[in-house]
Amino acid sequence: MMPFTEIFTSFTLSLITNFIVMVGATSFFYWLNASTATPFVFAHRRLLTLITGFGFMAFLFAQMLNHAYYTHLQTGYHWTYLNMMILTIYLLNLQLGLRWQAIVDAGLIVVYYLTFGAPLTILGGIATLIACVTLYITQANATRLIHNRLLKYTVFAIFAAAILTMVAQMHLTTDNWFWFRQLIALSIMAVLCLEFDQLMRLTRQRTDEIHELASIDELTGVHNFGTFNKELDKRFAEFQQNGVPYSVFEGDLDHFKQINDTYGHPSGNIVLKQLALELDAFADTLPFPATAYRLGGEEFAIIAQTPLNHAQAMQIGERFLTLLKLVRFPKADPNLTITCSIGQAHVSAGDYSANDVYKKADRNLYAAKQNGRNCVRAQADNE
């Protein structure tokens, strides 16, 4: 008979250790999927999640086998890594919500039971089936489970009960109080880890919202100048490394000061909002990736991820000017119409920085204004 003090001390320390490990693993997975992750992580997010997820599960599986068959009377006098494996599989399917994740995890559970469950039992087989079905339900309803705490805990309880029942059929030697300790430890770990997961999810949502607010122009809702600069740097770096071309359109409303002076600044803001809405929609209709930005005041831009010759750039710019003639502003003045001057430039081998492309577009915009406004000036093919 093992001393109660020894069991209690080991049990408590193992819970603390396991919770710290699960907190670290959960935090790492959320960092992988955060909007503030590094560019390398952002580019390889799915692969990194796959590698680290299966790596962590492999570690838990190895420890679980070690405790079950060699040293199961150590580390809390219960199978601590079995509990961690149950939680990890459930949380991965809850976080990712991917069908392949559930299929792979279900396959591993079946292989585990067939390998270590001999002689197989009907109850063990039913428990294995329930565990697999529960995983599929978890990934298919991940969003619903995340927003319904009672449902999330209920599904976890079914999954955990199925796994523990499956393991209990493996004819392993345990003491009289073993399963009581196992269930108490799993219950405590489940509450701590599921609540921490919820806390991390809310924290990530707030972080993403703050990041989004920092990149969006408050008045118009399109991307702001800071985001424009970052995207220019990113595009230029890709051009230098891989030769990926791009073009910049810069537009400026003609005589916008007169609109403010005549109708007032609130009406001027209405005009800017409507212009941004039209520009954003126009960018979405282009047959290549393009994003709209407000650079400040009445200046806007589009970064187009495609090579454009002079004729193509002129055609795109003139299409937008034609569209702009049809835009009306009933909240300001139903009879108000606006025009715009547009300058365009594309990246070329002679550019030394991302700012060079922007400067060329700006010079062409100035030339359009000098030429009477309401027109487009695009970079020549030989420039």
Q: What pTM does this model have?
A: 0.60
Single out the residue of 95, 97, 85, 175 nearest to residue 131, CA to CA.
85
φ/ψ bin of 255: left (φ > 0), alpha (ψ from -120 to 50), beta (otherwise): left
Q: What is the 3-state secondary structure (H, E, C) of 49-97?
A: HHHHHHHHHHHHHHHHHHHHHCCCCCCCCCCHHHHHHHHHHHHHHHHHC
- What six digits make up the tokens of 187? 């219950």
Whether residue 300 is predicted with pLDDT greater than 60 in this model: the reply is yes
Backbone angles phi, psi at 350, to 5 degrees: -80, -5
The CA-based diameter of the chain, rounded to the nearest angstrom, is 97
Contacts of 137 (CB under 8 A, 6+ apart): 155
Phi and psi (nearest 5°) for 132? -65, -45
Buried b (16+ CB within 10 A) or exposed e, 251-268: bbbbebeebbeebeeebb
Where is mean pLDDT largest: 41-45, 73-77, 331-335? 331-335
- For 118, which DSSP code? P
**Cα–Cα distance, 338 to 357 (Å, whole number):** 27
Domain residue extents for the chain: 4-215, 225-377
Please state the rounded mean pLDDT for residues 161-187: 84
Of 16-20, 36-40, 92-96, where does mean pLDDT reach its minimum? Answer: 36-40
Structure confidence by residue, pLDDT tens digits, 99-147: 888 998 999 899 888 888 878 899 999 999 999 999 999 999 999 999 9
Please enumerate in sequence order all residues whose Cβ is within 8 A of that of 191, keeping only pairs 6 or more positions apart, or say none: none
Indicate the SS3 state at residue 247.
strand
Which CATH architecture does the domain made up of 225-377 adopt? 2-Layer Sandwich (3.30)
How confident is the model at residue 307, as a pLDDT?
87
> Mean pLDDT of all residues in the chain?
86
